[in-house]
């Protein structure tokens, strides 16, 4: 049995049966059987279940919030905004737009005008979703919903720290009438998740880089597609012309929301020298005003608390100064912390901390800020603060990150129309929009002959006449195109 512990009180709140790895093949078999019916429904028919699930969430939001808070310790406001609100929006977005994203596409061949070409988006089959503990409702539903409406059966394996929320996801769809076994939740440890990789037709994993690499390696043995949303060490760049008040507010919230346990958290801050002192002063003032249990909750797991303590200790030993916080409190609480005199020799500036710590570094130029921001194995999110929005856009283009905000932070995740995901070791694939839906499908190209001739000119039997005709056609189509290109006044010959 999985013992579920409330990280705020340290008290056990539930026990959940474990699905052992050897039971996963039977669960996949059930899912495959259910998939045969589910995939035949139209997108519009599947969308009705999404709308019904949204209604269920609206009617049961207090119960959902209580479950999330009990398992993670996060403040109720964060559970409401970052989990319940997001999932309601997600369900409505895909219910409304999936028919357009998944409809058959007609392509017009540039040569073979006697053909009609269709691109059809076929579901993968059974998708395994392995979700984390930091946003147990949002990040589970974020993969479950597009996988379902794309026509797949889904098996969800929630984190062993937050199984109740994972079971709640299954319950929602069951109570709105979803066909049995189209969505199943299996609770367990890493070996249960590994078994999903061994038997499903596609995997969506959200978690650490180390585990993500193992998932990718295991999936590669079977050549199944994987979506990986992994870690981040997300930089904030504050230029000397920035609105200091807005930048400081964004920094504090962006670094400390969900107690810093957010992949898109502001994890390192680079501030141009002319405004550095004022920026640091305002950040410290704002951190002092935060209330434990209202804005700041506990770390969700003991291991995460140990990582935060280790990173702060390493920074101090290497010369960093603590301006506020820096200490562990009773239970899994850690004081919101601001560090200065930091540099890239410290773990706090290079490894994912995932805790309530704000390390701030002085820089002397935009070029130095950009170089330091890109000096990372991660590339999930970043932010730039400047009153010159054109400069902000230019700088964003040079930041090696899948998501960048100008004069904002974290907002990318709330824009469901746009792709969200990382580069470098922050992951593969994208959430949201058509990208986040079509990755749970495989594109099938269907070519239909239009005129029904008895044979094509290049079919058997071959003849010298046809060969000469094709050779002349190549010269006519392509050499003439090159001459036209190089005769254009703005063209330059290849050298």
C-beta of residue 152 within 8 angstroms of C-beta of residue 438: no
C-beta of residue 26 within 8 angstroms of C-beta of residue 110: no
User: Which CATH architecture best describes the domain 234-417?
Assistant: 3-Layer(aba) Sandwich (3.40)
pTM of the model: 0.94
pLDDT per residue as tens digits for the range 386-423: 999 999 999 999 999 999 999 999 999 999 999 999 99
Class of domain 2-230+431-443: alpha beta
Sequence length of the chain is 495
Is 417 labeled as catalytic in the residue annotation? no
Q: Give residue 494's pLDDT.
A: 41
For residues 159, 164, 170, 176, the Cα torsion angle rounded to the nearest 10 degrees is: -150
Q: Give residue 483's pLDDT.
A: 53
DSSP letter, residue 81: I
Give the N- to C-terminal CA distance of the chain in Å, as an integer: 69
Average pLDDT, the chain: 96
Q: In what order do the strands lie in the sheet with 321-324?
A: 321-324, 337-340, 357-363, 266-272, 234-238, 381-385, 403-406
C-beta of residue 152 within 8 angstroms of C-beta of residue 440: yes
C-beta of residue 46 within 8 angstroms of C-beta of residue 148: yes
pLDDT per residue as tens digits for the range 422-470: 999 999 999 999 999 999 999 999 999 999 999 998 899 999 999 999 9
Exposed / middle / buried, residue 461 (Cβ in 10 Å: 0-12, 13-18, 19+): exposed
Per DSSP bridges, beta strands 427-428 and 105-107 are unpaired
Q: Active-site residue among 263, 272, 352, 405?
A: 263
Q: Give residue 417's pLDDT.
A: 97
List CB contacts of 149: < 8 A, sequence separation 6 or more: 43, 46, 47, 50, 94, 95, 98, 437
List CB contacts of 88: < 8 A, sequence separation 6 or more: 54, 57, 58
Name the β-bridge partners of 322: 339
Is 263 labeled as catalytic in the residue annotation? yes
- Where exactly are the structural domains of the chain? 2-230+431-443, 234-417, 457-495
pLDDT-based confidence at residue 293 (cuts at 50, 70, 90): confident
Q: Active-site residue among 83, 160, 170, 229?
A: 229
Q: Give residue 493's pLDDT.
A: 47
Q: Could you tell me the two tokens for 36?
A: 């045969």
């Amino acid at each position: 049995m999985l013992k579920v512990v409330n990280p705020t009180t340290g008290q056990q709140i539930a026990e959940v049966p474990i699905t052992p790895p050897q039971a996963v093949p039977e669960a996949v078999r059930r899912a495959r059987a259910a998939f045969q019916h589910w995939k035949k429904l139209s997108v519009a028919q599947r969308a009705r279940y999404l709308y019904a699930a949204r209604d269920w969430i609206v009617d049961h939001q207090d119960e959902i919030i209580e479950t999330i808070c009990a398992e993670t310790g996060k403040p109720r406001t964060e559970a409401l905004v970052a989990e319940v609100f997001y999932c309601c929006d997600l369900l409505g977005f895909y219910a409304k737009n999936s028919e357009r994203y998944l409809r058959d596409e007609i392509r017009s061949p540039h040569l073979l005008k006697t053909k009609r070409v269709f691109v059809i988006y076929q579901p993968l089959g059974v998708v395994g979703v392995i979700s984390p503990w930091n946003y147990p409702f949002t990040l589970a539903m974020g993969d479950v919903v597009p996988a379902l409406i794309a026509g797949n059966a889904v098996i969800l394996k929630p984190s062993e720290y937050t199984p109740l929320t994972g079971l709640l996801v299954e319950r929602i769809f069951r109570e709105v009438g979803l066909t049995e076994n189209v969505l199943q939740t299996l609770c367990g440890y890493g070996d249960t998740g590994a078994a999903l990789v061994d038997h499903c037709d596609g995997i969506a994993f959200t978690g650490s880089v180390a585990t993500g690499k193992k998932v990718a390696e295991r999936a590669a043995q079977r050549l199944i597609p994987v979506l990986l949303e992994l870690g981040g060490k997300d930089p904030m760049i504050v230029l000397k012309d920035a609105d200091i008040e807005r930048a400081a507010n964004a920094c504090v919230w962006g670094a400390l929301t969900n107690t810093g346990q957010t992949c898109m958290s502001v994890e390192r801050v680079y501030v141009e020298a002319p405004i550095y002192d004022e920026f640091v002063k305002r950040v410290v003032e704002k951190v002092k005003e935060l209330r434990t249990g209202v804005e700041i909750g506990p770390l969700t797991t003991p291991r995460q608390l140990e990582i935060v303590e280790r990173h702060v200790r390493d920074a101090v030993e290497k010369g960093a100064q603590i301006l506020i916080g820096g200490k562990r409190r009773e239970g899994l609480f850690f004081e919101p912390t601001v560090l200065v005199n930091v540099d890239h020799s410290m773990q706090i500036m290079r490894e994912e901390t995932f805790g309530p710590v704000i390390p701030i570094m002085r820089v002397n130029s935009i070029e130095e800020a950009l170089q330091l921001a890109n000096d990372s194995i991660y590339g999930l999110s970043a932010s730039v603060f400047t009153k010159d929005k054109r400069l902000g856009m230019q700088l964003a283009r040079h930041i090696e990150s899948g998501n960048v905000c100008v004069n904002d932070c974290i907002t990318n995740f709330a824009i469901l129309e746009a792709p969200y995901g990382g580069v470098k070791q922050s992951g593969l694939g994208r959430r949201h929009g058509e990208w986040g839906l079509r990755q749970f499908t495989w594109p099938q190209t269907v070519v239909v002959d239009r005129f029904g001739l008895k044979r094509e000119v290049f079919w058997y039997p071959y003849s010298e006449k046809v060969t000469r005709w094709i050779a002349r056609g190549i010269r006519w189509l392509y050499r003439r195109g090159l001459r036209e290109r190089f005769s254009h006044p703005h063209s330059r010959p290849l050298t």
